[in-house]
Amino acid sequence: MTNVNDAWIVNLIRHWREDPGASYRTWFLWEERIKNFRSIRRGIQAVIDEIRSDTFGNAYRGSSLETIVSSIAEQRQVFKGADHAFLWKPKLRIPDIYEDRANQLAFGRFLDACLCCNAEAQVLAAIRTLDQSRIKGLGPAAANLLYFLHPTVASPFNTAIVKGFNALMGANVKLGRWDEYLAMRQGILALNAAHRTLLSNDLGAVAGFLFDVGSGRYPLPERDATGALERWREDLERVRAEAAGAASKAAQAASEADHTHTEIQGWLRDLGLALGFDVWVASNDGGRPYAGGRLSDGCLDRLPERLTANGTAETVRLIDVIWLEKASGDVAAAFEVEHTTSIYSGIVRMLDLALGVEGGTARNLFLVAPDNREEDVRAQFARPAFSRVSELDLRYLPYSELRGHRETIARFGTGLKGVLAIARPVGAPR
């Protein structure tokens, strides 16, 4: 690609910054731009919640997604038309996140992962996982959502930005493919790093610059197009090779994670039954094969009505395992197993259970996770949004402790004493 340090690029960026009609002054320095980040973030959380509880619906119009994408599209010229990619096109049946529940859940997991993470590697992993789902019509336009979550990691994306990148860098980015977006992102990061003092850590600045170039606002000099294109192809092949390797590892990890998640649920089911509790297994997991039968064998087929009477029914039914007192139907303990999924979403479900139960009877709440996720667990516990965690007795239960002690607890234990002994309270010293 073009040498990002060429003097003509420096001069062009300076001219762009001084141009009163360019996006730098009309959009990037616009005071309302930053104010919209928080509301869009809240809107993305609403989309995630609706998808998780299966209340999102099967239409774009009137959905929570339309609300936030419309808000993005109103961000002046750089995001004009951002909603086009999400509009339901009946004849093509795209983007296929409205009528296909599996695709909708994959999209929700993508948003959830990106909302909760704070590292570049995690964002890229979420993108690759979404790409592997091959959801028809859902391409890099979704990066416009990511920009408002991670403005230093994800660049905005639209036709003009792609045209500007191709014209400036001598590349050949094609619309609609995530691998092309990721390769373009590498070039954008290189351009931004070379001219950070004229641009910004916020990739909105360099995206605005490329947008104006792609819109034909500035003529560009003639360059060696053949050499630039070859360098672009090398970048693209590198990204594709990385994606292929990541896909192979992710497929293996996903298979192992699913097995482990079910296995841990099975341990908790068996332990709860052995201790004399009624047991509930998440409604979407009960049919999974386990120990020669189904995971829900011997468990309740419905929750007591008062646990689902305060508008949290769908959320509570998705909690991985709940132990209930036989006589009263009170929640004795609840467990969320987070092998590779978002710690954040597990805590939210626990809070919905605890705060939604009449009389506040749901007290012993356990987040069950691998030993190597303890730092992640504690980081999520520390979020201001979970300031009430200490009141609700939420505890971290490492896999190793459950694996090593569950049989002894089942044989000799009574009540919750054994489980409480191996779990770690929030904020407890390690």
Q: Give me the DSSP letters along 283-349.
A: TTTTTSEETTEETTTTS-SS--GGGSSSS-HHHHHTSSEEEE-TTT--EEEEEEE-SSS-HHHHHHH
Q: Report the pLDDT value the prediction gives residue 410, as an integer from 0 to 100.
A: 92
Q: Report the pLDDT value the prediction gives residue 181, as an integer from 0 to 100.
A: 94
CA distances from 305 to 4, 48, 353, 354, 358 (A): 63, 25, 13, 15, 11
Q: Report the pLDDT value the prediction gives residue 338, as an integer from 0 to 100.
A: 83
Look at residue 80 and give its three-state secondary structure: coil
Q: Is the dihedral of CA 205, 82, 145, 234 positive or negative?
A: negative
For 119-126, which contacts have Cβ atoms below 8 Å and span 24 or more sequence positions? 120/150, 120/153, 123/150, 123/153, 123/154, 124/182, 125/246, 125/250
Which residues on neighbouring strands pair with residue 335, listed in sequence order? 321, 366
The span from the CA of 371 to the CA of 156, in Å, is: 37
Q: Which residue in this structure is represented by tokens 């094609």? A: 174
The span from the CA of 392 to the CA of 389, in Å, is: 5
Nearest of 242, 362, 224 to residue 304 by alpha carbon: 362
Burial class (CB in 10 A: 0-12, 13-18, 19+), 422: middle
Asked if residue 130 lies in contact with residue 110, where contact means CB atoms within 8 angstroms, the answer is yes
Q: Report the pLDDT value the prediction gives residue 227, as an integer from 0 to 100.
A: 59
Residues comprising the chain, all counted: 430
The span from the CA of 212 to the CA of 377, in Å, is: 43
CA distances from 228 to 172, 231, 235, 237 (A): 10, 5, 11, 15
Amino acid at the residue 245: G
Nearest of 164, 141, 144, 166 to residue 155 by alpha carbon: 144
Q: Which residue in this structure is represented by tokens 């004849």? A: 91
Q: Which residue in this structure is represented by tokens 């999924």? A: 341
Nearest of 156, 155, 167 to residue 215 by alpha carbon: 167
Q: Is the pTM of this model over 0.75?
A: no
The span from the CA of 214 to the CA of 207, in Å, is: 10
Q: Give the residue extent of every domain in the chain.
A: 7-249, 255-425
Q: Report the pLDDT value the prediction gives residue 430, as an integer from 0 to 100.
A: 43
The span from the CA of 145 to the CA of 142, in Å, is: 5
Per-residue pLDDT of the chain (430 residues; tens, 9 = 90+): 567 778 889 999 999 999 999 999 999 998 888 888 888 988 998 899 888 888 888 888 888 899 899 888 888 788 888 888 898 888 888 999 998 988 998 999 899 889 888 889 889 989 998 998 899 999 998 999 999 999 999 999 999 999 999 999 888 898 889 999 999 999 999 999 999 999 999 999 999 999 999 998 988 876 655 555 566 566 667 666 776 665 555 554 444 444 588 899 999 999 999 999 999 999 888 988 888 899 999 999 988 887 776 666 777 888 899 999 998 888 899 999 987 666 777 777 777 777 766 555 567 889 898 887 777 777 776 766 666 555 667 888 988 899 889 999 999 878 899 999 999 876 544 4
Look at residue 396 and give its three-state secondary structure: strand
CA within 13 Å, CB half, 8: 10
The span from the CA of 133 to the CA of 191, in Å, is: 31
- Two tokens, residue 153: 């990691």
The span from the CA of 56 to the CA of 272, in Å, is: 34
The span from the CA of 290 to the CA of 293, in Å, is: 5
- CA dihedral (227, 228, 230, 235) in degrees, to 10, reads 150
Amino acid at the residue 52: R
Q: Report the pLDDT value the prediction gives residue 387, as an integer from 0 to 100.
A: 62
The span from the CA of 419 to the CA of 288, in Å, is: 25
Nearest of 333, 387, 379 to residue 357 by alpha carbon: 333
Q: Report the pLDDT value the prediction gives residue 257, as an integer from 0 to 100.
A: 46
Residue 193, number of CB atoms within 10 A of its CB: 11
